[in-house]
Amino acid sequence: MARQMRAAIFRGVGSPLAIAPRDMPEAGPGELLLKVAYCGICGSDLHATDTESYGLALGATLGHEFSGEVVASGSADFRAGERVAVNPIRACDDCAAEGVCRDGLGALCPNSRFTGLFGPAPGGYAEYAVVRAAQAIRLPDGVSLRDGALLEPLAVGAHAVAAAGPVEGARVLVLGAGPIGVAVAIMARLAGAAHVAISEPAAGRRRRAAGAGVDPGLDPAAGDLARQFAAAAGGGPDVIFDCVGKPGLLQQCIELSGPRGRVVVVGVCMTEDRMIPRAALKKELTVRWVLAYTAEDFDRVVGHMRAGRIDGGSLVSSVIGFGDLPRVFEELRTPNDHLKVLIDPALPA
């Protein structure tokens, strides 16, 4: 009889997650069995469980921002006891031997799958999870398992900043002080931006962003945002990151931009949106969409963490166990002051 573990199960749109027993997975050739240490709740998890069009299968176990300890290894490159974080991108079976997409597309390949969101790979909302060894990222001394669960959202920020082009000496505006907005702001600062400001209507999130080392936030409800930014930064934004993903935000970015400005769309808008192309054309704007990350983005984040340039603890607003997970998961669907909520499967129910 297979050993059992606890996991959070998706029961369908409109139903809270259920904590239920599941057979413990086993590591096959080239795979690792991890005892999950921490797993973050991501906005993508909320989107995936909010609409049937996303395609999340009934009975799925979410979770793609996780770290853990290797319990069993089917790879010569890892041994039991090693601490790792996970790159959720799982290459298709044709590229499994290489471990990554042979076309270099990563998350952009239509055949790639995200652990914990699509396909055959259950995620980290569980006591144990199996990943391919190629997805594992060793955590160096000085980078905790808790910090390891933050690598994925920080890598999103690193990828967005890299996609924007050079930001050294630039004035940067970030819309949205959620986990990704704060990650973008942190990575822009580390890339040498002269000024980084976050626009966020929720006072609690502005305070948390400031606690994470981001410049004091701007309140878009307090008056003209362009004037607020110019007063704080000494001029208009050179680069704007939309980390919200709601209708109307792209057009707002276009209006806030100066001539030859750059706009990077990071937030996921799940509905139709409208924009006025002429407004962007008149300024010769560059508008760039970004998705996920590359292995190099993870390496960049690990390097910053190892050097002590990122305080992971300041990004975590709460750590919960399975007993609180269904309730907190539903609460995160509505406006809140959280930055990153982590799940610790070892906490008592």
Q: What is the DSSP letter of 208?
A: H
41 confidence band (pLDDT: 50, 70, 90)? very high
* Same domain, yes or no: 142 and 164: no
Asked if residue 180 belongs to a domain, the reply is yes
Same domain flag for 108 and 183: no
CATH code for the domain in which residue 137 is found: 3.90.180.10
Residue 1 has pLDDT above 70, yes or no: no
Instruction: Verify that 137 and 218 share a domain, yes or no.
Output: no
Query: The dihedral of CA 14, 347, 127, 6: what is its sign?
Result: negative
The CATH number linked to 262 is: 3.40.50.720
pLDDT the model gives residue 300: 97
Query: pLDDT, tens digit, for every residue of 301-340?
Result: 999 999 999 999 999 999 999 999 999 999 999 988 899 9
Supply the pLDDT for residue 295: 94
Whole-structure pTM value: 0.95
Distance in angstroms (rounded) separating the CA atoms of residues 165 and 283: 18
- For residues 268 and 245, the answer to whether their CB atoms sit within 8 Å is yes
The answer to whether 123 and 8 have CB atoms below 8 angstroms apart is: no
Residue span of the structural domain in which 166 resides: 157-289
Q: Are 229 and 168 found together in one domain?
A: yes
Query: Which two three-digit tokens encode residue 164?
Result: 């924007």
Q: Give pLDDT, residue 123.
A: 95
* Side chain identity at residue 85, one-letter code: A
Instruction: State whether 46 and 180 are in the same domain.
Output: no
Residue 133 lies in a domain: yes
Residue 121 has pLDDT above 80, yes or no: no
Residue 11 within a domain: yes
CA 250 to chain centre: 20
Q: Is residue 234 part of a domain?
A: yes
Residues 113 and 245 reside in one and the same domain:
no
**Same-domain pairing of 32 and 124:** yes
Average pLDDT, the chain: 94
With respect to residue 302, please indicate whether it lies within any of the assigned structural domains: no
CB 82 within 8 A of CB 137: no
Residue-wise pLDDT tens digits, 44-54 = 999 999 988 88
Q: In 3-state terms, what secondary structure has residue 49?
A: coil
Distance CA(262)–CA(9), nearest Å, equals: 41
Residue type, 263: V
Question: Taking residues 135-156, what's their average pLDDT?
Answer: 97
- Please report, to the nearest 10 degrees, the dihedral formed by the alpha carbons of residues 112, 114, 116, 120 taken in order: 10
> Considering its fold, how many domains does the chain have in total?
2
- Same domain, yes or no, for 338 and 277? no
| 305 inside domain | no
* Distance, CA of 13 to CA of 114 (rounded, Å): 20
Q: Do 143 and 166 lie in a common domain?
A: no
Residue 224 has pLDDT above 80, yes or no: yes
Q: Is residue 299 part of a domain?
A: no
Q: Strand 171-175 relative to strand 18-23: parallel, antiparallel, unpaired? A: unpaired
Same domain, 56 and 103: yes
Cβ–Cβ contacts within 10 Å for residue 164, how many? 26
Residue among 13, 15, 19 nearest 345 (CA): 19
Residues 143 and 184 in one domain: no
273 and 194, same structural domain?
A: yes
Confidence of residue 89 (pLDDT cuts 50, 70, 90): very high
pLDDT band at 211 (very low <50, low <70, confident <90, very high): confident
Amino acid in the structure at residue 113: R
pLDDT value of residue 119: 60
CA distance 29 to 340: 34
Amino acid letter, 283: K
Matching residue, tokens 């391919």: 132
Confidence (pLDDT) at 20? 96
94-103, 245-254, 312-321, range with the lowest pLDDT: 94-103
Residue 222 covered by a domain? yes
